[in-house]
Structure 1
Amino acid sequence: MRNLHVPLLLTLTFTPLTLAGINWDVFEYGVVPSFKWSRPFPDDGTDPGGFHVNCRAEGTFHAKLYKLKDLPLDPPTGLSPWHDAIEVFLSKRDFMGSWDGVDHKGNDREIVVMEYVDVPGPVREWIEAQQQQTDERDKNGSRWMFAVFEKPKKEGEKVYTTVRPKVTPHPAPAEPTSSQQEQGHGQAAGQMQERPVEAQEHTPDIPDKDKIVVFPAGAVYEILPLWVAKGSKCESDLMDLSKYKPQATDHSVMAWVVDHTKPERDHGHRAMTFKIEAMSVTETEDGKRARLMWEKMHRAIKRNERRMKKEERMKAKKEMEEGRVRDEL
C-alpha cells in the first residue's frame, strides 16, 4: 500500500502546475486566423528533445490589460484620453489576438498598455525603426502593431495621433574649400545665387517617460527574443530575428510567453504581468540522426500513399472501362 500512495501524491502535486500553464480562453474563444505560433519547447523546464540549449533568457514585465469596451472610460479603468487615436490605429490593421492569439471578439478584444520606459531598449528601437520605414505594399503601416502615444499634459486633454518617429540626425554639410569659394566668386556678374535651403523644422523628441505604448498581446510574438535579449549570455543571437523560428532548428532561437496574469477587473484593476522565456539552441548529433531517420520514414510513407492512390485510380478506371464494354455487348 505504501508504494501505491506515491504516484497518487505526485499526481496531486503536479497536476495543478500543469493546468496552470493552459490558457483555457484558447478553447473557449478560439484564436485569430493569422496567429501561427505555438509553444516551441516543453513547459516543464526540460530542454527540447534533440537540441542543446546554449543559453536561456527570461524576463517579467508589468503592464495593464484593457478591453475595447474600456476605451471611453476615464483612467485608471479606461483609456478615454487616447480613445479616438487607438480606434483609428486598430481599424487600419488586422487584429493580432491577445495572449496565445485568443480572439475574444467585438468589444471584449484585449489590448495591452505599457509605460514606454518599461519596454526594453531593443524593442523600443525595433518599434521606432518600423515606424520610420516605408513600404510600397504597406503604405498605412498595417503591419506595425505597436502604437506609441504621448501622455496628456493636463487633465481632460485628448491625444489624437501617434508619436512622430525620432529624428535621425544628418551630418552637417562640409565647409567649402578655398578653391570652391574662389570659383563661386568668379561666376558671371548678374547671375542669381541660389537661395540657401532652409533647415528642416525640428520637433523636439518627447521623453520616453512621457509616452505609453498600446498593442494587442499577439503582436509581441513576432519579436519575443528582443524582450529578453539585453544583458543575456546569448545577446547577439537573441537580437538577430533571422534566427527566430516557430520551432527548433539547428542554430536557431525560440521564445514564448510562458506565463501571464489576468487583472482583477471586478475590483476595477487593470494591472497584469507577463513572462517571456527565450533560448538559443543547437541540434545535437543524436538529434540530427533521429530527425533524418524520421524524415526518411516520412518520405517513404508519402511515397506509399501516392502509390496507393495511383493504384486506386487505375483500378477505378479499369472498372469503368470493363463496365462500358459489358454495356456495349
Structure 2
Amino acid sequence: MRSPTILALALTLCAPATAHPSAKGMKPSPAPEKLSSFKWTYPFTDEAMTGWTASCTAVKAFSAREYTLHDLANPFPKGLGAWVDGLKGFFSGREYPGAWGGWDKHLHDRTIVYMEYEEVPLRVREWIEEQERGDLAGKGLFAVFEKPAAGEKGEGEREGKEGSVIGETVKVGEVVDRSGDGGKVVMFAPGALYEILPLWVADGSDCQDVLLDLSNYQPTHADGAVVAWPKKTNPTKEKVISIEITASQLAPKPVGSEPEVVAEGGDAAEGAAAAEETGKVEAEGKGKDEL
C-alpha cells in the first residue's frame, strides 16, 4: 500500500496551469486504490439494511466545485489559482483523506472540493473552527481562506484580480464574526466529508440532537446508530457539482419485514481505473462504494 501522504499535492500545486499527466516529463499517476485508513462503506444496500429500518432520515443538497490537482493553477472558476500557495502550505506533510468513497487517485488526479464558506451549515463551520482552534483530530481536514480582492467577470463570477495571492488560511479566534463568512471559502479533499456527514444535515431535521452528537455516528449498523453517505453529480464545465448527503438513525426492523433501502448513492466509480484510462466522467455508484 502506498503512503497516502499529501506531499505529492504540494509538489503538483507548483506545476504550471498547462501541466497535465500526458505532458512530457510527467509520470502518470499510479493506479487508484482504496485507502486502508478509510473506515466508511456505503450503508444503505439491501444486505446492509437487512434487519434494520431508518427511524429518522435527513437529506440535504449543497452546491460546490470540484477540481483535480492538474487544473488548480488556472484562474477561478476553471481553477483555484489565487489560493495555490495557500493550499500548498496548508496541505504539505498532511495525509490525504481520500476522494469520494475513500479512493486515492494519486498525484495530479487527486480531487479538491471548493465551497463558499457561508453556504456551509453553521454546525459544520463551528466544528471546523473548534478543530483548528484546539489542535484536535479534525485539524487540517478543511482549509478556510479569505477571498482575494474581487472583480466581476461574466455573470457575476468572482475572480481574484491579476496578481492576487492568498498565502495562508484564516486565523481562528476565540470568537468568530459571522458577518465575515461571506468573504471566505473552504477547500477540502472529498474524504474529509465522511468524518462529519451528520452535521451537514442535522439542523431542522426530526432527529437534530441525535445527528449533532457525532458519538452516534458509526461505520457499522447498530441499534440507535447513525449512518450516512454522500452522492454527487458530475462536474459541469465550470466545475460545479451538487452534493447530496443522507443520514439516518437505525432501529431494529420487526421480524419478517422486507429489507429497506433508504437512499441510493456512493460514487463507486470515483476510484475506477477504467474511468482514469478513458477520461470519461465518473458514473455514480448504485448502492456500492467500490468496484
Q: Taking structure 1 as the reference length, what is the TM-score of the superposition?
A: 0.61
Q: Does 1:67 align with 2:84?
A: no
Query: Greater Rg, structure 1 or structure 2?
Result: 1
The structure in which a higher percent of residues are strand is 2
Q: 2:208 aligns with which of 226, 232, 235?
A: 235
Q: Does 1:275 align with 2:276?
A: no
Q: Which runs of 5 or more residues in structure 1 are unaligned? A: 1-27, 170-203, 288-329
Q: What is the letter of the counterpart of residue 120 of structure 2?
A: V
1:218-251: CA deviations, max 9, x gaps? Answer: 0000000001001000000000000000121111
Task: State the match for 1:159 in structure 2.
Answer: 166
Alpha-carbon separation, structure 2, partners of 1:168 and 1:120: 17
Alpha-carbon separation, structure 1, partners of 2:179 and 2:34: 36
Task: State the match for 1:126 in structure 2.
Answer: 127
Task: State the match for 1:150 in structure 2.
Answer: 146
The structure in which a higher percent of residues are helix is 1
- Report the CA distance between 1:205 and its aligned residue: 7.0
Alpha-carbon separation, structure 2, partners of 1:229 and 1:221: 14
Q: What is the letter of the counterpart of residue 60 of structure 1?
A: A
Q: Taking structure 2 as the reference length, what is the TM-score of the superposition?
A: 0.68
Task: State the match for 2:235 in structure 1.
Answer: 263
- Report the CA distance between 1:102 and its aligned residue: 1.8
Give me the identity figure in percent. 41
Alpha-carbon separation, structure 1, partners of 2:226 and 2:36: 24
Q: How many residues align?
A: 215
Structure 1 residues 1-329: aligned runs within 5 Å: 29-42=32-45, 48-134=49-135, 143-154=139-150, 155=161, 156-168=163-175, 207-257=180-230, 259-264=231-236, 268-284=237-253, 286=255
1:84-143: CA deviations, max 9, x gaps? Answer: 1101211131001111112121111110000001111111111111111135xx7xx7x4
> Is the 8 Å Cα contact of residues 99 and 190 (structure 2) preserved in structure 1?
yes
- Report the CA distance between 1:153 and its aligned residue: 2.0
- Judged with a 3 Å threshold, the aligned counterparts in structure 2 of structure 1 residues 39 and 205 are, in CA distance, closer, same or farther, namely closer
Alpha-carbon separation, structure 2, partners of 1:118 and 1:31: 30
> Is the 8 Å Cα contact of residues 57 and 277 (structure 1) preserved in structure 2?
yes
> Is the 8 Å Cα contact of residues 166 and 205 (structure 1) preserved in structure 2?
no
Alpha-carbon separation, structure 1, partners of 2:51 and 2:105: 37
Task: State the match for 2:259 in structure 1.
Answer: none
> Is the 8 Å Cα contact of residues 111 and 189 (structure 2) preserved in structure 1?
yes
Alpha-carbon separation, structure 2, partners of 1:134 and 1:90: 15
> Is the 8 Å Cα contact of residues 89 and 147 (structure 1) preserved in structure 2?
yes
